[in-house]
């Protein structure tokens, strides 16, 4: 109880109206909180106590419904950093946060929108950001620097990050409404994966058996695991007796952060060069989705290649070889690794794939295009789409729509087979004709 005999009011009730020296009545209330957690207080006034109390109730109702913007809203980049550093880690994987941060650093941080306060953001600001981002990618050519437009999927990724971060700002009372929700972006993509033909795959498989790391590419082309899943395979995951592979993890890397005091006292620009670097390197984690944890059959050609790869790997081990120990202290004897037993960097794996394509005499493509090729091949072989989903570790049936052209070809083939099945065979011609036919021929 307070000295006045009244129960202490909570923040969402505001203060009891009090009369000021100038005769007006005043009440204070909490309108929301800054990213730091500090409350933002506002006041209402009235000529009478009843008028002040009525205004207080109205403003508190607005604030509780999220309809009041904070007068000291943070800048966009301040909120995004706060969101990625303190809020996102509660329910998003670290490597996903790292990807989100990369988009913010590349397309938002250096843009004029970064310094705009949240309560001043408009849908037009977001439109301009996306327009500028689309023309921000540069590549070097013989004629100088040339701008390549970003793919629609990259813009969609940036859109998702901003939408989620600003939704959280609305939920926490830092922002009135999310302007990103009012911006429409195209879901269409002009990107077409490089899917290799049957003849090209045969050529690639013939080339792979001659390479020390050929099993890596045979795996890519036949079963299509994600890059991190392939690099995360360990030998106990392969059962040579039953002819199956368990895919239960992936290997990924995170950039190193500075370990020295704030301000980078070591004088190095990048955290990877800091003598006290931290939080970077290789990590293991579950596959992309629950469906990614799977057991898949091993084709005979791959089974033979993996056995030979095992023998070659044992011969090529360096004196410093040791199993890879992940962040949980679990040791992994990786199937595809460096001579010292440690994981292969995804960029080195990418370059090895490029070299393999060139040596096989097939068009250039991404490591992920091997996965597209595997999916296409399985569908063209007539394997049930649900089984293909299991083998590829897809969590959504919608993934099959990316291969609609393959399904269309299969449906056309079904139509041809049905037509042949139900159409009676044409009897061979002979010189014997019926009496009715002879009568028709005699008629003038």
Report pLDDT digits (tens) over 344-378: 999 999 999 999 999 999 999 999 999 999 998 89
Write down the H helix ranges in 172-295: 198-208, 214-222, 227-231
The class of domain 76-182 in CATH terms is mainly alpha
The CATH fold assigned to 198-249+288-416 is hpI Integrase; Chain A (1.10.443)
Domain boundaries, the chain: 11-64, 76-182, 198-249+288-416, 251-285
Is it the case that residue 222 has pLDDT exceeding 70? yes
Concatenated DSSP letters for 305-362? HHHHHHHHHHHH--TT---EE-TTS-EE-BSSB-TTSPBPPHHHHHHHHHHHHHHHT-
Residue-wise pLDDT tens digits, 69-86: 444 678 999 999 989 988
Nearest-angstrom CA–CA distance, 336 and 188: 36
Q: Distance between CA atoms of 163 and 329, rounded to whole angstroms?
A: 37
Task: Report phi then psi at 247, rounded to 5.
Answer: -110, 110
What's the pLDDT at 223? 96
Which helix (H) or strand (E) covers residue 252, if one does?
A: strand 250-254
Please check the confidence at residue 239 and state whether its pLDDT lies above 80.
yes
- Would the CATH topology of 76-182 be identical to that of 198-249+288-416? no
pLDDT at 29 over 80: yes
Confidence band (pLDDT; 50, 70, 90) for 136? low
Q: Is the pLDDT of residue 304 over 50?
A: yes
Residue 1's pLDDT band (cuts 50, 70, 90): very low
Which pLDDT score, from 0 to 100, does residue 145 have? 44
Q: 138-152, 224-238, 247-261, 405-419: which range is least confident on average?
A: 138-152
Higher pLDDT, 107 or 1: 107
pLDDT tens profile 87-123:
998 888 888 898 899 999 999 999 999 999 998 999 9
Which sign does the torsion angle of CA 417, 418, 423, 425 carry? positive
pLDDT for 347: 94
pLDDT at 305: 95
Q: By the 8 A CB rule, do 74 and 117 touch?
A: yes
pLDDT at 254 over 90: no
pLDDT digits (tens, 9 = 90+) for 44-63: 999 998 888 888 887 777 66
Element spanning 370, H or E? helix 367-380
Among 214, 215, 218, smallest CA distance to 201 is for 218
pLDDT at 147: 47
Residue from 170, 174, 173, 166 nearest 125 by CA: 166
pLDDT in tens, 152-207: 778 899 999 999 999 999 998 888 899 999 998 875 555 567 889 889 999 999 99
Higher pLDDT, 278 or 264: 278
The residue among 412, 385, 413, 381 whose CA lies nearest residue 399 is 385
Task: Burial-class residue 14 by CB neighbours within 10 Å (0-12, 13-18, 19+).
Answer: buried
Q: Beta partners for 297? A: 244
Rounded (5°) CA angle 6-8-9: 110
Is residue 42 very low, low, confident or very high in pLDDT (cuts 50, 70, 90)?
A: confident
pLDDT of residue 4: 41
Q: What phi-psi label fits residue 396: left (phi over 0), alpha (psi between -120 and 50 degrees) or beta?
A: beta
The span from the CA of 24 to the CA of 48, in Å, is 7
3 state DSSP class of 30? strand
Rounded to whole angstroms, the Cα distance separating 279 from 70 reads: 35
| Mean pLDDT across the chain | 83
């Amino acid at each position: 109880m307070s000295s006045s005999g009244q129960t202490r009011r909570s923040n969402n009730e505001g203060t009891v109206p009090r009369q000021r020296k100038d005769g007006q009545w005043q009440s204070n209330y909490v309108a929301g909180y800054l990213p730091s957690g500090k409350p933002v207080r506002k006041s209402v006034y009235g000529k009478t106590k009843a008028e002040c109390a009525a205004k207080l109730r109205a403003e508190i109702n607005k604030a509780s419904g999220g309809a009041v913007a904070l007068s000291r809203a943070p800048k966009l980049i301040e909120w995004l950093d706060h969101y990625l550093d303190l809020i996102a880690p509660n329910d998003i994987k670290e490597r996903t946060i790292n990807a989100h941060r990369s988009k913010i650093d590349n397309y938002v941080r250096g843009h004029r929108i970064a310094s705009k306060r949240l309560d001043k953001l408009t849908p037009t600001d977001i439109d301009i950001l996306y327009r500028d981002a689309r023309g921000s990618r540069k590549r070097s050519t013989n004629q100088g620097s040339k701008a390549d437009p970003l793919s629609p999927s990259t813009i969609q990724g940036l859109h998702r990050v901003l939408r989620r971060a600003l939704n959280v700002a609305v939920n926490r009372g830092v922002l009135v409404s999310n302007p990103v929700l009012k911006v429409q972006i195209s879901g269409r993509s002009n990107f077409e994966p490089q899917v290799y033909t049957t003849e090209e795959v045969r050529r690639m498989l013939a080339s792979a058996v001659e390479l020390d790391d050929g099993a890596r590419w045979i795996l890519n082309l036949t079963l299509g695991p994600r890059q991190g899943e392939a690099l995360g395979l360990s030998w106990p995951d392969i059962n040579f007796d039953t002819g199956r592979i368990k895919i239960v993890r992936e290997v990924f890397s995170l950039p190193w952060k500075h370990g020295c005091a704030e301000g980078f006292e070591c004088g190095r620009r990048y955290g990877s060069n800091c003598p006290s670097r931290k939080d970077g390197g290789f990590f293991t984690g579950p596959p992309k989705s629950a469906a990614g944890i799977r057991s898949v059959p091993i084709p005979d050609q791959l089974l033979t290649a993996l056995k030979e790869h095992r023998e070659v790997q044992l011969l090529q081990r360096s004196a410093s070889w040791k199993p890879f120990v992940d962040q949980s202290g679990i040791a992994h004897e990786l199937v595809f690794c460096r001579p010292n037993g440690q994981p292969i960097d995804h960029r080195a794996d990418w370059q090895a794939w490029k070299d393999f394509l060139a040596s096989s005499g097939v068009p250039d493509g991404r490591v992920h295009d091997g996965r597209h090729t595997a999916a296409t091949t399985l569908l063209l072989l007539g394997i049930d789409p649900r089984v293909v989903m299991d083998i590829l570790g897809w969590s959504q049936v919608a993934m099959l729509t990316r291969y609609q052209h393959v399904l269309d070809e299969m449906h056309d083939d079904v139509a041809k087979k049905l037509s042949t099945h139900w159409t009676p065979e044409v009897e061979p011609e002979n010189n014997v004709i019926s009496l009715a036919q002879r009568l028709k021929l005699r008629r003038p």
